[in-house]
Amino acid sequence: MGPPPSGAYRILDYGPSLVVVEANNGLMFEKSISLNGNEWSEVNEIEGYFLEFQEYNFVLSWTPRPPESVADHVELTTPYGPTFEYVSYSILSDGEVWYWHHTFGEWDMGAYCLYPILGIMVGAIMWFLIVELKRES
């Protein structure tokens, strides 16, 4: 995402498509995560854009970690029916803001449900083979 003017100091507010940071000089800057939102803009107050999503925070162990030492870090998920988004923001030691985002769809969650079903099927096949081998001997 690049650093805001004066470098970032801490994350004040965040959501799936926006982050608000405090710069080293005490000013606040926001950046929208969109195709058109490539510039940092100064803000005078925090409006609490996505505070309702923060109660859903959890950490996924396989997500990429920031590339260097971190001054501040937040992660959140936003549920949208059968899908959800996972977003991670970090302020690196040089004041740059690092961002990672992934959307999980119905098929992603379905893949996780497949493993228990496969385990039951393999267990049933093994049970059937053991019973047949005992019956023959």
pLDDT of residue 137: 73
pLDDT of residue 98: 85
Provide, rounded to the nearest whole percent, the portion of the chain with pLDDT above 70. Answer: 75
CA torsion angle for 54, 103, 40, 7 (degrees, to 10)?
A: 70
Per-residue pLDDT tens digits of the chain, which is 137 residues long: 677 877 887 888 887 778 888 888 888 888 887 756 568 888 888 776 555 444 444 455 566 777 778 888 887 777 666 677 788 888 888 888 888 887 777 666 666 678 888 899 999 999 999 998 888 87
pLDDT of residue 54: 47
Which H helix or E strand runs over 3?
Answer: none
DSSP 64-113: PPPSS-EEEEEEEEEEETTEEEEEEEEEETTSPEEEEEEEE-HHHHHHHH
pLDDT of residue 66: 75
pTM: predicted TM-score of the whole model, two decimal places: 0.62
Q: Is 3:94 a contact under the CB 8 Å cutoff?
A: yes
pLDDT of residue 127: 94
pLDDT of residue 8: 84
pLDDT of residue 106: 65
Q: Where are the domains of the chain?
A: 8-104, 106-137
